Amino acid sequence: MAAVEAEKVVAELRERCATPASLLRDVAAAMAGEMGAGLEKEGGSRVKMLLSYVDKLPSGREEGLFYGLDLGGTNFRVLKVHLGGSKKHVVNSESREVSIPPHLMSGTSSELFGFIAGELGKFVAEEEGTDMPNGKKKELGFTFSFPVRQRSVASGTLVKWTKAFSIDDAVGEDVVAELQTAMVKQGLDMHVAALINDAVGTLAGARYYDEDVVAGVIFGTGTNAAYVEKANAIPKWEGELPNSGDMVINMEWGNFYSSHLPVTEYDEALDKESLNPGEQIYEKLTSGMYLGEIVRRVLLKLSLQSGIFGSIDNSKLKTRFHLRFKADPKISVNVANRTPHISAMHHDETPDLKIVAEKLHQILEITHTSLEIRKMVVEICDIVARRAARLAAAGVAGILMKLGRNGGINNQRSVIAIDGGLFEHYTKFRECLESTLGELLGEEASKSVAVKHANDGSGIGAALIAASQSR
């Protein structure tokens, strides 16, 4: 009985999460369409297509010492790079990662920026011989991965928070001014030369080494993409056109929505209880902050409807992983984030699925599971992760479509640089994304498209853009 009921829940999930190629092509076309609408006029699409004011990407010839600051969704990093010009490229780089104390994610703006400036100050102070030649100021690129409406390459106001952040008094404020104020309080003499996000940084970091990189994409805590657009293909742009004729567009594609998206009851409930209901629907289907939470919801339904886990205490299964630390700031992000657990279960290759058994026990207090049940749990992880990866591939295909690079014409090489913890560490997600992109493009076009893991682009990219701006 229990097994039949359980199979019903899984079968329904399988069906609702199905992403046949025809559906993905519709999603890709919708993405390309929204991109056009967002470029047409301000507010033309849920996909905001924000101007980054980055009109020249690093060439590889930059020289000197530059700093970067990377505020993502989970960690934050400070780094320093020494660029040696076209022959030597990155001569040396050092970085440090700091996890963001959860209470700062919903506190005040000055607390958050005070913390960031403090950590940056410590990093700079510990470095030897960092005095700049002839009293020049230290140049810093700031990667801030939340939607920002920019007014120049080094200023911009926060549109809204996403992921787990919610600091009301920062919305509408210039984040560079906030950072600069906090740095002054710390006695840090640095100049913020560029404000970008992780997608733009990934694009810049990869372009530094390879001219054919056309887009930077993130699948980490959240998701976003940036690409190079012809300036004259941006009707909403009112300013003077840049010399380069190009403009990097920060898509903010996490907010993409299309009726073709396979949204289930679990996704709807997750959205409703999130910090940003109705927003970031594509992000909630495809990124690390949410995949574990979706699986958790399916397992709870499975338990309640079929009793397949036996007479267990469902309280652990009922605990929202991530979305509640606004209410309870004491829950730490690292403990609460379950997508790495999903990944571990999904990749379990032991014959009796020992890792699945361990995870179920440790995290959810579900004991004595049969092999059949463990297999079912793996399938649930597979369904949720596969849907995410296939939708992710459709998004990438949408960008290529918009650029007219999905048909393999002229064999023009196009490289998509991808970064983020989900893409980097969740092997099955990454493999599925890559194979699905091949499936969508077809054999001929696939030959001229490459997906590349751009390790650490978001941090170094900011420093590189600071460098290319400062000359």
Binding flags for Mg ion, 54-83, as an x/- string (CB under 5 A): ------------------x-----------
Which of residues 458, 464, 466, 468 is near Mg ion by CB under 5 A? 458
Query: What tokens appear for 140 in the block?
Result: 């810093």
If one asks whether residue 222 binds Mg ion (CB under 5 A), the answer comes out as no
Note if 174 is an active site residue: no
Task: With CA atoms as reference, report the closest residue to 160 among 50, 234, 263.
Answer: 50
Residues 6+ apart with CB under 8 A from 214: 227, 228, 399, 403, 405, 414, 415, 416
**Residue 462, helix vs strand vs coil:** helix
Q: Which does 460 bind (CB under 5 to 8 A by kind): ligand ADP, Mg ion, none?
A: none
Residues 6+ apart with CB under 8 A from 121: 183, 186, 187, 188
Note if 198 is an active site residue: yes
Beta carbon of residue 425, minimum distance to Mg ion (angstroms, whole number): 13
Q: What's the CA gap between 259 and 263, in Å, rounded?
A: 9
If one asks whether residue 95 binds ligand ADP (CB under 6 A), the answer comes out as no
Residue type, 95: S
Which of residues 74, 150, 264, 280 is near ligand ADP by CB under 6 A? 74
Which of 216/292 has CB closer to Mg ion?
A: 216
If one asks whether residue 343 binds ligand ADP (CB under 6 A), the answer comes out as yes
CB 416, CB 452: distance < 8 Å: yes
Which of residues 156, 254, 426, 467 is near ligand ADP by CB under 6 A? 426
Binding flags for ligand ADP, 208-237, as an x/- string (CB under 6 A): ------------xxx---------------
In the set 55, 70, 174, 198, the catalytic residue is 198
Beta carbon of residue 290, minimum distance to ligand ADP (angstroms, whole number): 8
Q: What's the CA gap between 233 and 213, in Å, rounded?
A: 19
In the set 52, 106, 109, 145, the catalytic residue is 145
Which residues, 186 to 205, sit near ligand ADP by CB under 6 A? 198
Looking up tokens 């993905």 gives 24
Give the DSSP letter string of 296-361. Answer: HHHHHHHHHHH-TT-S--THHHHS-SSTTTTT-TTS-HHHH--HHHHHHHHT--STT-HHHHHHHH
Which of 114/421 has CB closer to ligand ADP?
A: 421
Which of 39/298 has CB closer to ligand ADP?
A: 298
Q: Tell me the catalytic residues.
A: 77, 145, 198
